[in-house]
Each structure stands twice: as C-alpha cells, then as structure tokens.
Amino acid sequence: KLQLKGKDFLQLADYTTEEILYMLEVAQELKAQQKQGKPHPHLGGKVLGMIFEKSSTRTRVSFEVGMLQLGGHAIFLSSRDIQIGRGESISDTAKVLSRYVDGIMIRTFAHETVEELAEHATVPVINGLTDLQHPTQVLADLLTILEKKGKLAGLKLAYVGDGNNNMAHSLMEGAAKVGMDISIASPSGYMPNEKINERALKFGQQTGSTVTITNNPQEAVKDADVIVTDVWTSMGQEEETAKRLEAFQSYQVNTELCKLAKDDYLFLHCLPAHRGEEVTAEIIDGPHSVVFDEAENRLHAQKAILKLLLEK
Ligand code: CP
Ligand code: NVA
C-alpha cells in the first residue's frame, strides 16, 4: 500500500505512475461503495478549506459533496469575501488556515500562488485549477477512460485546441505518466509550455508513450481512441476572446474531424463547453461523448485524493 498521507496535490508530475494508478483504484473502490450505499466515513471530523479566486460549478460542488460523503466538511472561501481579496498575503493565509482545517483546496490564476500556499501550509494543498494546470480534472479524465476502455497504457489521446492551457498541460503529464500516447494539435502561438513538454517527453520515455505536438488536427485525431478539447478562451483571458475565436477556427472538434478517429473513440471535455465553437453539438451531445460521466468522476477521483492525503 502506497503512503500518500500529508502530500500536496499540485500537479501530476509530482506523482509516480504507481501512485496515479493507485489513486484511480481507490477512486473506483469509493465509487462502488457510494453506488452500493455503503457508508465510507474515512475523513470523519476533517475539514477542507476551499479558496476560489475564479468561478466554478463542478470543482466546488464535487469537493463539497465529496468531503460530506467521506464524513467530513468543506468550507467555501471566495477570495472576494476572505482577506486575500484585501491584500492579506498567501503565506499568512496558509499559516492561519492550517491552524483550523485539515486540507486546503485552491483555484487561482498563477501556478506560483498554489506553490507558495503549499510551501507555507502545514496541511496538504490541492490544486483546483491554475492557469497552468488542472490535475484533479485529468485524474477524473483518466478514471473515465479507464472505466470505458478497460486500460490506459497503449491508447492514443488527441487534444485539439489551446495547447497552452491548464487542460493541455495536465493531460500531457497524465497521459505520459500512464503510458498513453498524446497528440496535441494547436495553432502556432498556442503551443504547450516548453518546460511541461520536456517533462512530459521524459515521462513518456519512462512509460514507453509518445508526446506529439502539431499544427494539424487531422494528424492528431488520426486513429485516436480518445478526443479531448477545451474552451478556446480560459478564465482570465476574456479580453482575448475575439482574437482567439479567429485563431482557433480550424481547430473545432466536429463530425468530419472525428471520422479520422477509431470507430469506438470517446469524446471528453472538462466543461463548461461552448457548442459551435471548440465542439459541435453533434459531437458533445452524440453517442461517443462521455462528458457527464467525466463530470461525475470529478467526485470519485477527488474523494480518492482527499482520502489518501487527509486520512488519519
Ligand atoms: N471542469 C471544471 O473544473 O469545472 P468548473 O469550472 O465548473 O469547476
Ligand atoms: N481551461 C479552462 C478550464 C475550465 C474548467 C479554464 O481555465 O477556464
């Protein structure tokens, strides 16, 4: 049994392949228990503080429900209402919250904010999305693919769209860690972060999977088992919306593009989605789409993270 107690969950790069597969196994166990109505109060009396500097539907609700199902409690802390919004430092906030709560989840802008919080907190810190990474989402994505395909290693995942955003980066690390080939198709100027690419290539060498970056969506999607996209304009980039709409025009996931994938491909999207932009309604609401199972799996994947990191 792997020991993850007390660790932070900032990015998948910080976890070994074995640890990621173990988290997925625990997620499946917790999911089965919940479906069977078996109580699983592993975190009785524990409290999670949740700092949100950006909007959220799934992350907020799934963490809150997850803590409740584990016998604990979650506190929603909007940055508008806590003193961070008035300039209190991240380090003081980390030290103070650590005296009250057993874990801190944070959704913010700069990835450095999460790192600073983790450095000063004495309880585990979980990254609920930064501009750079969205690791809890990708753990849920891996869980969804594993459930539907029965395996991860050896599959090909194609990501079409903004290669320089949190989803692309966390998918690159997650796929490479579990031995899944990943192909990212993005327009020039929206290519993945160089450091994350190098890191993913290194993980891929260890697991025997490939990490490919291209301008060509057709090439990326060819023979893919899984197609993923994400919004063209992420939170915090609203001023660039018009420019991005134009830059990503030929990167839409639509019926024509998906014909190049394997016949039994899955379509994933972390949501929220913009039908008619990054994906057509025909695809996201069609038979290959598993976006609502994916959204549900946020709950189960995060319960595994919470159980393993916060357990007594
Ligand atoms: N996918 C995701 O993180 O959704 P929210 O922004 O609603 O939390
Ligand atoms: N890339 C998106 C993901 C939303 C869950 C964003 O950061 O807005």
Contact 40, 34 (CB under 8 A): yes
Rounded (10°) CA dihedral 7, 38, 69, 299: 70
Question: How far, in Å, from the CA of 272 to the mean position of ligand 1?
Answer: 7
Q: What's the CA-to-centroid distance between 166 and ligand 2, angstroms? A: 7
**Residue with the nearest Cα to atom 3 of ligand 1?**
59
Mean pLDDT of 43-63: 98
User: What is the per-residue pLDDT for 34?
Assistant: 98
3.40.50.880, 3.40.50.970, 3.40.50.1370, 3.40.50.300: CATH of 12-133+298-310: 3.40.50.1370
CB of 209 shorter than 6 A to ligand 2: no
> Ligand 1 atom closest to Cα of 134?
3
Domain with CATH 3.40.50.1370 in the chain: 12-133+298-310, 137-294
- Let me know if 107 is exposed, middle or buried by CB neighbors in 10 A (0-12, 13-18, 19+): buried
For residue 3, the CA-to-ligand 2 centroid distance in Å is 31
Residues whose CB falls within 8 Å of the CB of residue 134, separated by 6 or more in sequence, listed in order: 127, 166, 167, 169, 170, 270
* Protein residue with its CA nearest to atom 7 in ligand 2: 234
Percent above pLDDT 90 for the chain: 99
Express as a percent the part of the chain with pLDDT over 70.
Answer: 100
The model's pLDDT over 13-35, given as tens digits with 9 standing for 90+, comes to 999 999 999 999 999 999 999 99
The ipTM of this complex is: 0.99
Backbone conformation region of residue 93, classed left if phi is above 0, alpha if psi is from -120 to 50, else beta: alpha
pLDDT at 264: 98
Q: Is the peptide bond prior to 217 cis by the omega test (within 30 degrees of 0)? A: no
Long-range contacts of 164-167 (CB under 8 A, 24+ apart): 164/190, 164/191, 164/192, 164/193, 165/131, 165/230, 165/234, 166/129, 166/130, 166/131, 166/132, 166/133, 166/134, 166/234, 167/134, 167/137, 167/138, 167/228, 167/230, 167/270
Name the pTM for this structure: 0.98
> Which residue carries 């199902």 as its tokens?
69
CB distance 138 to ligand 2 below 6 Å: no
Predicted local distance difference test score (pLDDT) of residue 223: 98
Q: How confident is the prediction for the chain on average, in pLDDT?
A: 98
Is 244 marked as a binding-site residue? no
pLDDT of residue 215: 98
Q: Is residue 235 lining ligand 1, measured as CB closer than 6 Å? A: no
Q: Is 137 exposed, middle or buried (0-12, 13-18, 19+ CB in 10 A)?
A: buried
Query: Which residues fall within 8 angstroms of residue 292, CB to CB, at 6 or more apart?
Result: none
Give the closest ligand to the alpha carbon of residue 108.
2
Match 């989402």 to its residue by tokens.
137
Does the CB atom of residue 166 touch ligand 2 within 6 A?
yes
- Cβ–ligand 1 distance for 138 under 6 Å, the answer no
* Ligand lying closest to the C-alpha of residue 62: 1
Class of domain 137-294: alpha beta
Report the pLDDT value the prediction gives residue 312, as an integer from 0 to 100. 79
Catalytic amino acids? 107, 134, 137, 230, 270, 298
